[in-house]
């Protein structure tokens, strides 16, 4: 594929017009058009500027290999223009992560099991069983919320990134032939909300072959309502094992309903939101939907917040990404400029790490 | 003293500005930069007082610094010689420098603070054209203090050797 075509595809994938790129880059519309139609060749410094706007490496423009368009599966997809930018940033980060794995010779496929069968045969009992199986297989324990992210990143080699975007309900996942399995979470959400989104997106990865590869949904960037409900069922059961929830509730008098304090305690224990606890208790305790909705409304209008707990901001880059980058840099497996670009520091800040390393 | 002819990468240019000896260096050396390094990668250095921006345009306009153009085709041709995973770890600025140096018949030396650039330089068998900043500054009498590791002769040699090893282990060039 020619450089011109690559430039056009890259521009379109971030949803920008030639005029918008001209404004951002300082390059003329006619020059940009001539670059895309191969009437003129851009200078490398111009490619570098365009790469920053299009969220592509200069290497992407110089390559002659075919361009693969990865499908990013969205939940509550942001408006198209924002979704394109966020998707592109997500892909760029995943590609960088993959490069680091390659340079450190730690390249491996993600280590997630694949669910056999057909989408039509997958129901709630299967989603619940899948959650239980996954929890046991990865030894996540009775309170997986605290461990899930670390295990997915470090053990399963799933690439998990946090970016800020709207709406906050949005999250995304993908399995790419290039960089493997990846999940995008919203950095604007609380940790317990992100935990739930992580488990929800995990379901999509586990069933990717079922819903995206071997079905008519191939290429679609959103899941059906049925698939989303299964993902929610999976997430609840993964994060709040039925036996552990019942044990936590044992000895409590629930005749007059579930006291907000008890819901708050469960939410803290399993590191999920109070609303997620109430929806899960509907199934575990056999309560009605109306009762659940009443309890959720009561929580929202309560004079005091039962959600009091310490939140934390997600790190800008996954720990494994940072560790691989540092290793690649200190072992001279990547350029200082590349390290600075990947980690978001200046070249001098990167050089300071060398200095620190050489001083022991 | 013969004026050294040297191609700098961004680290060297930024380092010399940070040390406050850029102007003295341009007075003592024939300096070449690639267009990407000059136009896109050398804009500021970090100091204790914060970020300090500088402009190479006056040096370029006055001829104290020569800028050479590197075409997309020449870079593509250069990169095609390597295994993709080996050359992709080299930053674009240094890629343009080494690409230009590898096809230039002049005796221009290379000065960089980039570990991996030295490694690729070594792999290409170009170690004799390596001129670490420490050596250059000694040569032109401008070294006033101990330099950070990235600019030392020892660091350069260590990474050149890694590149030579890479070549022997058949990790460098495309078949």
The pLDDT tens digits of the residues spanning A283-293 come to 999 989 999 99
Q: Please report the pLDDT score of residue B67 as a whole number.
A: 97
The pLDDT tens digits of the residues spanning A61-86 come to 998 888 877 889 999 899 999 999 99
Over range A252-278, report the average pLDDT.
Answer: 88
The DSSP secondary-structure symbol of A313 reads P
For the four alpha carbons of B25, B27, B28 and B30, in that order, the dihedral sign comes to: positive
The reply to whether residue A348 touches residue B41, judged by beta carbons under 8 angstroms, is: no
Q: Which residue of A has its CA nearest to B160?
A: A332
A148 burial via Cβ count (<10 Å: 0-12, 13-18, 19+) = buried
A39 burial via Cβ count (<10 Å: 0-12, 13-18, 19+) = exposed
Neighbours of A300 (CB within 10 A): 9
Q: How far apart are CA B60 and CA A111, in angstroms?
A: 53
- Averaged over successive runs of 10 residues, the pLDDT of chain B (175 residues) comes to 92 96 96 95 91 95 96 95 96 96 89 98 96 96 90 97 97 93
The phi and psi torsions of A133 (rounded to 5 degrees) equal: -65, -45
**Chain B neighbours among A 323-352 (CB < 8 Å)?**
328-329, 332-338, 341, 346-349, 351
C-alpha A171: how far from chain center: 6
What is the four-CA torsion angle of B57, B63, B66, B72, rounded to 10 degrees? 60
Q: Please report the pLDDT score of residue A111 as a whole number.
A: 75
Q: How far apart are CA A24 and CA A217, in angstroms?
A: 36
Q: b/e for A330-359, b at 16 or more Cβ within 10 A?
A: bebbbbbbbbbbbbeeebbebbebbeeeee
Of A137, A10, A134, whose CA–CA distance to A62 is shortest? A10
Over range A207-222, report the average pLDDT.
Answer: 77
**CATH for B5-168, among 3.90.550.10, 3.80.30.10, 3.40.50.10680, 3.40.50.1010?**
3.40.50.1010
What is the distance in angstroms between the Cα of A45 and the nearest Cα belonging to chain B? 5
* pLDDT at A215 exceeding the cut of 70: no
What is the distance in angstroms between the Cα of A331 and the nearest Cα belonging to chain B? 9
Pairing mode, if any, of strands B30-34 and B5-8? Answer: parallel
Mean pLDDT value across chain A: 91
Domain extent listing, chain B:
5-168
Do you find a cis peptide bond into A167, omega within 30 degrees of 0?
A: yes
Beta bridge partners of A174: A182
Neighbours of A259 (CB within 10 A): 14
Over range A151-177, report the average pLDDT.
Answer: 92
Neighbours of A286 (CB within 10 A): 7
* pLDDT at A201 exceeding the cut of 90: yes
Q: Please report the pLDDT score of residue A110 as a whole number.
A: 67
* SS3 letters across B145-167: CCCCHHHCHHHHHHHHHHHHHHH
What is the distance in angstroms between the Cα of B69 and the nearest Cα belonging to chain A? 8
How many degrees, rounded to 5, is the angle at CA A99 between CA A172 and CA A12?
50
Q: Please report the pLDDT score of residue A115 as a whole number.
A: 83
Which residues of chain B make contact with A61, given a CB cutoff of 8 A? 72
DSSP calls for chain B? -PPPEEEE-HHHHHHHHHHT-HHHHHHHSEEEEEHHIIIII-SEEEETTEEEE---HHHHHTTSEEEE---HHHHHHHHTTB-HHHHTTS-HHHHHHHHHHHH--S--EEE---HHHHHHHHHTT-GGGB--HHHHHHHTT---SPPPGGGSHHHHHHHHHHHHHHHHTT-SB--
Q: Please report the pLDDT score of residue A123 as a whole number.
A: 92
Q: Please report the pLDDT score of residue A228 as a whole number.
A: 95
Q: b/e for B130-155, b at 16 or more Cβ within 10 A?
A: bbbbbbbbebbebbeeebbbbbbeeb
Q: Please report the pLDDT score of residue A217 as a whole number.
A: 62
Q: Please report the pLDDT score of residue A302 as a whole number.
A: 74
Q: How far apart are CA B54 and CA B27, in angstroms?
A: 17
How many degrees, rounded to 5, is the angle at CA A88 between CA A231 and CA A321?
75
* Helices A260-270 and A289-301, packing angle to 10 deg: 90
Helices and strands (H, E) in chain A, number of each type: 18, 4
The pLDDT tens digits of the residues spanning A94-108 come to 999 999 999 999 887
Q: What is the largest CA-CA distance in chain B?
A: 50
Q: How far apart are CA B135 and CA B137, in angstroms?
A: 6
Q: How far apart are CA A203 and CA A238, in angstroms?
A: 10
* pLDDT at A307 exceeding the cut of 70: no
pLDDT band at A218 (very low <50, low <70, confident <90, very high): low
C-alpha A346: how far from chain center: 26
Residue in B44, B71, B90 closest to A41 by CB: B71
B167 burial via Cβ count (<10 Å: 0-12, 13-18, 19+) = middle
The pLDDT tens digits of the residues spanning A122-148 come to 899 999 999 999 999 999 999 999 899
**Which 3 state secondary structure label does DSSP give A186?**
strand
**Which 3 state secondary structure label does DSSP give A125?**
helix
Which residues of chain B make contact with A354, given a CB cutoff of 8 A? 115, 148-150
The reply to whether residue B115 touches residue A335, judged by beta carbons under 8 angstroms, is: yes
Neighbours of B22 (CB within 10 A): 23
Q: Please report the pLDDT score of residue A303 as a whole number.
A: 63
Q: Please report the pLDDT score of residue B145 as a whole number.
A: 83
The reply to whether residue B92 touches residue A58, judged by beta carbons under 8 angstroms, is: yes
State the best of B17, B34, B92, B162 to mutate against chain A, taking most chain A CBs within 10 Å: B92
**Which 3 state secondary structure label does DSSP give A271?**
coil
The reply to whether residue B116 touches residue A335, judged by beta carbons under 8 angstroms, is: yes
């Amino acid at each position: 594929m020619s450089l011109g075509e690559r430039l056009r595809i890259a521009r379109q994938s971030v949803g920008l017009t030639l005029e918008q790129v001209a404004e951002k880059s300082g390059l003329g519309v006619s020059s940009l058009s001539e670059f895309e139609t191969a009437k003129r060749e851009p200078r490398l410094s111009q490619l570098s500027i365009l790469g920053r706007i299009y969220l592509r490496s200069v290497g992407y423009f110089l390559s002659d290999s075919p361009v693969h368009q990865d499908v990013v599966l969205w939940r509550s997809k942001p408006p198209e223009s924002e979704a394109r930018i966020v998707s592109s940033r997500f892909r760029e980060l995943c590609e960088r992560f993959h490069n680091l794995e390659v340079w450190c010779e730690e390249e491996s496929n993600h280590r997630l099991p694949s669910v056999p069968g057909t989408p039509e045969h997958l129901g709630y009992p299967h989603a619940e069983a899948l959650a239980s199986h996954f929890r046991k297989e990865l030894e996540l324990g009775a309170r997986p919320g605290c461990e899930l992210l670390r295990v997915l990143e470090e053990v399963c080699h799933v690439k998990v990134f946090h970016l800020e975007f709207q709406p906050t309900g949005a999250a995304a996942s993908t399995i790419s032939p290039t960089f493997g399995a990846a999940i995008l979470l919203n950095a604007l959400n609380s940790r317990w909300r992100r935990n739930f989104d992580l488990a929800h997106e995990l379901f999509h990865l586990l069933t990717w072959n079922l819903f995206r590869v071997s079905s008519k949904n191939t290429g679609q960037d959103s899941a059906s309502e049925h698939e989303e409900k299964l993902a929610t069922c999976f997430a609840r059961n993964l994060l709040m094992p039925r036996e552990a929830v019942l044990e936590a509730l044992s000895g409590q008098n629930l005749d007059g309903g579930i006291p907000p304090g008890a819901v708050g305690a469960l939410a803290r224990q399993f590191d999920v939101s109070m609303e997620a606890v109430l929806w899960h208790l509907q199934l575990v305790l056999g309560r009605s939907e109306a009762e659940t909705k009443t309890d959720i409304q009561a929580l929202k209008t309560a004079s005091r917040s039962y959600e009091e707990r310490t939140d934390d901001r997600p790190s800008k880059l996954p720990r494994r990404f940072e560790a691989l980058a540092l290793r690649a840099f200190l072992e001279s497996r990547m350029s200082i400029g590349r390290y600075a670009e990947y980690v978001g520091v200046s070249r001098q800040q990167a050089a300071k790490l060398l200095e620190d390393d050489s001083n022991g | 003293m013969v004026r050294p002819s040297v191609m700098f990468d961004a680290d060297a240019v930024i380092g010399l500005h940070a040390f406050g000896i850029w102007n003295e260096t341009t007075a003592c050396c024939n300096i070449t930069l690639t267009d990407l390094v000059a136009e896109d990668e050398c804009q500021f250095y970090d100091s204790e007082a914060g970020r300090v921006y500088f402009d190479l345009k006056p040096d370029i306009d006055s001829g104290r610094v020569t800028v050479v153009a590197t075409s997309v085709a020449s870079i593509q041709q250069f990169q095609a010689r390597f295994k993709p995973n080996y050359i992709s770890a080299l930053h674009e600025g240094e890629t343009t420098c080494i690409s230009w140096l590898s096809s230039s018949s002049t005796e221009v030396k290379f000065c960089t603070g980039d570990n991996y650039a030295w490694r690729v330089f070594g792999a290409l068998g170009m170690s004799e054209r390596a001129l670490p900043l420490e050596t250059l500054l000694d040569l032109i009498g401008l070294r006033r203090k101990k330099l950070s590791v990235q600019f030392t002769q020892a660091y350069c040699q260590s990474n050149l050797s890694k590149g030579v090893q890479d070549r022997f282990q058949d990790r460098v060039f495309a078949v």
